[in-house]
Amino acid sequence: MDKFVIKCKRKNVEEDESGIKLKEPRVNNVEPSVDKELTFRRIRGDNLNCDYTMLYSQKEADELLKECEENLQYNTGDLARVHVFGKWHSIPRKQVAHGDPGLTYTFSGISVPARPWTPLLLRIREKISKVTGQAFNFVLINRYKDGSDHMGEHRDDEKELVPKSPIASFTLGQPRDFIFKHAESRGKEAKRIILPVKIELQHGSLLMMNYPTNVYWYHSLPARKRLTSVRINMTFRQMVKL
């Protein structure tokens, strides 16, 4: 993989608002999906294994966003806060989880119980399962009211996730930068120089994060203060009941 980093062409490198260098993902040949109508872009790097496609047309995605805004309700109170370094903070976005009975999702000190599936979410899940051939029993939904809402760097390595299962990230609304950072290239103690990989997630798109991406790479949705529109992201997962 070092080869991948060193050989990266300068013209593919840019800087984001915070000045960090970003690399456009290496995109391989296009491959038909399980649903033969769709093609996936293969995004590969050092233990980075993702596939990206446009799942819905603009018109369909507009309609789904409208339905989400009309039907989804988000957690409030203690379920809308996280416990970090001994302090409680409101999360900088809205969040809710839906899934099979009894499933919960624990992160940053809070345990989010799954609400029951709704017809809208089941429709989206069915479409994703059809095009990927994967099953999901849980979805975490994040709503970003504008570019100031964001999500910090993390790995989806919760103990409730079925080991090696893929995570399907479905986006509606405002396109936003999604950034992968290799665990060994983070912070002052970085052991290796591996440029972050940026993907702009579009309205109606699906990003499959396949094993072992989440073992080696952190991901984040940084603030983009100039952006004014709503974005909703759904990460469909396969969880175990603990």
Ligand X SMILES: O=C(O)CCC(=O)C(=O)O
Q: Give residues in contact with ligand X (CB under 6 A).
A: 140, 142, 151, 156, 169, 178, 219, 221, 233, 235
Least CB distance to ligand X at residue 80 (A): 15
* Strands laid side by side in the 217-221 sheet: 13-15, 21-23, 197-201, 176-182, 217-221, 151-154
Question: In terms of Cα–Cα distance, which of 24, 30, 22 is closest to 51?
Answer: 30
- Are residues 96 and 75 in contact, defined by beta-carbon separation less than 8 angstroms? yes
Beta carbon of residue 178, minimum distance to ligand X (angstroms, whole number) = 5
Identity of the residue, 32 or 212, whose beta carbon is nearer to ligand X in the bound complex: 212
Give Cβ neighbours of residue 36 (< 8 Å, ≥ 6 apart). none
- What is the C-alpha separation between 132 and 189, in angstroms, rounded? 38
Nearby residues of 43 by Cβ (< 8 Å), 6 or more positions away? 25, 26, 27, 28, 49, 50, 51, 52, 197, 199
Report the candidate in 37, 8, 42 with the shortest Cα–Cα distance to residue 24. 8
CB of 242 to ligand X, least distance (A): 19
* Closest CB to ligand X among residues 22, 151: 151
Closer residue to ligand X (CB): 97 or 194 = 97
Q: Please, what is the minimum distance in Å from the beta carbon of residue 82 to ligand X?
A: 13
What is the phi/psi pair of residue 14, to 5°? Answer: -140, 175
Q: Are 147 and 220 in contact (CB under 8 A)?
A: no
Cβ proximity to ligand X, 181 vs 219, nearer residue: 219
CB of 153 to ligand X, least distance (A): 9
Return the amino acid letter for 12: N
CB of 198 to ligand X, least distance (A): 12
Nearest residue to ligand X, using CB?
Answer: 233
> Which C-beta is closer to ligand X: that of 50 or that of 151?
151
Q: How far is the CB of 83 from ligand X (least distance, A)?
A: 17
Which C-beta is closer to ligand X: that of 125 or that of 188?
125
Closer of 137 and 235 to ligand X (Cβ) = 235
- 68 Cβ partners below 8 Å, 6+ apart? 120, 172, 232
* Alpha carbon distance, N-terminus to C-terminus of the chain: 36
